[in-house]
A and B are shown apart, each in its own frame.
Chain A
Amino acid sequence: MLRILQFLYSLRSFLLFVLLEVLAISLIVSNNSPQGAAFFNSSNAITGSVLKTRSDVVDFFSLAENNEALVIQNAALLEQLKTINSSPDSLKLELDSAFEAQYNFKGARIISNSLRFAQNHLTLNKGSNDGIKPGMGVFNEQGVIGRVKSVSENYSVAFSLLNTELNLSTKIKNNDSFGTAKWDGQDSQKTKLLYVPRHVTASAGDTIVTTGFSAVFPEGILVGIIESVNQGEDPNYLDIVVKLSADFSKAHYVYLVENSQLNEIDSLQKQSEIENEF
């Protein structure tokens, strides 16, 4: 018995190495599952405040750019408002109120962002105190950015669209045929559009938007523009490369959208055993 203990003691650093390695790998696996309860990440109070201080300093230098983007979006919104406002000579009918209140919007700032890894995340400066919930969609004036993963009191962590775990339900705008946008881990400006059947006529320059099927994003938020369409190796589907419309390296301010009927849709789909993408 003593010999066994002595033998184990002589191997102690190797045993510690194996133990910690297994622990680290189990952390990697649990952190990367989309549903995993990630409590130990940059949304905790100390980490969040350090990252926020850093971004307070860094963001100061991009204020002019952000203001310009805001002005452009305001102009676009004013343009839309003109068509929505009823003119005095026309009649307006109120639709069912359930439609109107389906989506709630909130604003937040990105305090930490990564582009270079295969699983990229964003940290936002709003948390559960501000009404942020896991599962909310994240976008900015340029296009879709990601989806909230976990939330603490004052901060939240979101999957970037540049994360190989995230599937986004999208469609080609001009012919309504839908596919799944999924990043392949290579170029931070491009993504792949999967599961578009071969009979669909897609061509370079077509716009890709969200479908609204996923119950996370409303219909019609810009994702990107098709850069190339190839026949690819898969016998059933086209190989499509999409240029993302959002510039992830310059994204600072984002909007969050919550579907107030998400729970109902989710539980209905679970009941009927449909696995949905984000």
Chain B
Amino acid sequence: MNFRNLITYIFMVICLCTVQILLLKNVALFGVAFCFIYLLAILSFPISMRSFPLILISFGLGLLIDVFYDTLGLHAAAATLLAFLRTYWLKAISPNGGYDDSNSPTLREMGIGWYISYSLPLVFAFSLMFFTADQWGTGGLFGVLNKSLFSSIFTVILAIIVQLLFFKRRRGI
């Protein structure tokens, strides 16, 4: 990763977190579909990135969102899970012949079919962890599954739209 890419990644993380904190806090379509657009940052880190720093960064991002949401630990726990699973899931769905070194897992580089099969299960795992921890001891299993399913679909759709609008053909924002 060269210096210019590093700057664009940092810029992307800041933008996504700002949008998440300022605009999307109380957004919930029909009371069930929440949006966690900052996950797009974790999902878009390069494929060659090692698991160890990825988990650390995700934990930090989750904690940052938690501080603003007053849900201390919820986002951190779920984002850590997402980062941990990402490495294994990327291996599991690698195309024939593996990835290029320069590949980053974005819509433009990998195509829409691959991208949905990459992001949807990961975001669903995140949502499941998040809502299970949030509703612990209050709601039933049905409520958790309901919210997780619709939130992950909504988040992935929004992530695709953001990438179509703002991500350039090759790299960066």
Cα–Cα distance between A51 and B52 once the two chains are bound (Å): 32
Which of B26, B73, B84, B87 is within 8 Å of A113, CB to CB? B26
Q: Contacts A20-B76, A40-B67, A114-B25 given; indicate if A12 touches B138 (C-beta within 8 A).
A: no
Q: Contacts A16-B52, A185-B139 given; indicate if A40 touches B87 (C-beta within 8 A).
A: no
Question: Is B74 an interface residue, CB under 8 A from the partner?
Answer: yes
Total number of A-B contacts with CB less than 8 angstroms? 101
Most buried by B among A12, A14, A27, A44: A27
Question: Is A168 an interface residue, CB under 8 A from the partner?
Answer: no
Report chain A residues within 8 Å CB of B21.
50
Interface range for A: 35 or more
Check if B76 sits within 8 Å of A24, measured CB to CB. Answer: yes
Which residue on A lies nearest to B72, using beta carbons? A31
Q: List 19 A-B contacts (CB under 8 A).
A: A13-B50, A16-B52, A16-B55, A17-B84, A20-B55, A20-B56, A20-B76, A26-B73, A27-B76, A28-B73, A28-B77, A47-B68, A50-B21, A112-B70, A114-B25, A115-B26, A117-B71, A157-B70, A186-B143
> Which A10-35 residues sit within 8 Å CB-CB of chain B?
12-14, 16-17, 20-21, 23-31
Beyond the given A13-B87, A24-B73, please list 19 additional residue pairs across the A-B interface where CB-CB is below 8 A.
A12-B52, A13-B50, A16-B56, A17-B81, A20-B59, A20-B76, A25-B73, A31-B72, A41-B72, A42-B68, A47-B68, A50-B68, A114-B70, A115-B26, A116-B34, A118-B134, A119-B134, A157-B70, A249-B26
Question: Is B117 an interface residue, CB under 8 A from the partner?
Answer: no
Which residue on B lies nearest to A42, using beta carbons? B70
Count contacts on B: residues with CB < 8 A to the other chain: 38
Which residue on A lies nearest to B85, using beta carbons? A17
Which residue on A lies nearest to B54, using beta carbons? A13
Q: Contacts A17-B55, A17-B80, A47-B67 given; indicate if A118 touches B139 (C-beta within 8 A).
A: yes
Cα–Cα distance between A28 and B132 once the two chains are bound (Å): 12
Residues of A within 8 A of B (CB): 12-14, 16-17, 20-21, 23-31, 38, 40-42, 44, 47, 50-51, 54, 112-119, 121, 123, 157, 164, 184-186, 249
> Which B41-69 residues sit within 8 Å CB-CB of chain A?
50-52, 55-56, 59, 62, 66-69
- What does DSSP make chain B's interface, helix, strand, loop or mixed? helix
Question: Is B163 an interface residue, CB under 8 A from the partner?
Answer: no
Which residue on A lies nearest to B25, using beta carbons? A114
Check if B84 sits within 8 Å of A13, measured CB to CB. Answer: yes
Cα–Cα distance between A20 and B138 once the two chains are bound (Å): 25
Check if B71 sits within 8 Å of A119, measured CB to CB. Answer: yes
Q: Contacts A16-B56, A24-B62, A38-B72 given; indicate if A114 touches B84 (C-beta within 8 A).
A: no
Which residue on A lies nearest to B80, using beta carbons? A20
Which residue on A lies nearest to B60, using beta carbons? A20
Query: Shortest CB–CB separation between residue B15 and chain A, in angstroms?
Result: 15
Report chain A residues within 8 Å CB of B22.
54
Residues of B within 8 A of A (CB): 21-22, 25-26, 28, 31, 34, 50-52, 55-56, 59, 62, 66-74, 76-77, 80-81, 83-84, 87, 133-139, 143
Cα–Cα distance between A208 and B34 once the two chains are bound (Å): 32
Report chain B residues within 8 Å CB of A115.
26
Cα–Cα distance between A123 and B26 once the two chains are bound (Å): 14
Report chain B residues within 8 Å CB of A185.
135, 138-139
Cα–Cα distance between A119 and B83 once the two chains are bound (Å): 25
Report chain B residues within 8 Å CB of A157.
70
Check if A164 sits within 8 Å of B138, measured CB to CB. Answer: yes
Cα–Cα distance between A168 and B165 once the two chains are bound (Å): 48
Which residue on A lies nearest to B52, using beta carbons? A13
Report chain A residues within 8 Å CB of B133.
25, 28
Report chain B residues within 8 Å CB of A30.
72
Report chain B residues within 8 Å CB of A25.
73, 77, 133
Report chain B residues within 8 Å CB of A17.
55, 80-81, 83-84
Check if A186 sits within 8 Å of B67, measured CB to CB. Answer: no
Which residue on B lies nearest to A46, using beta carbons? B67
Cα–Cα distance between A185 and B56 once the two chains are bound (Å): 32
Report chain A residues within 8 Å CB of B55.
13, 16-17, 20
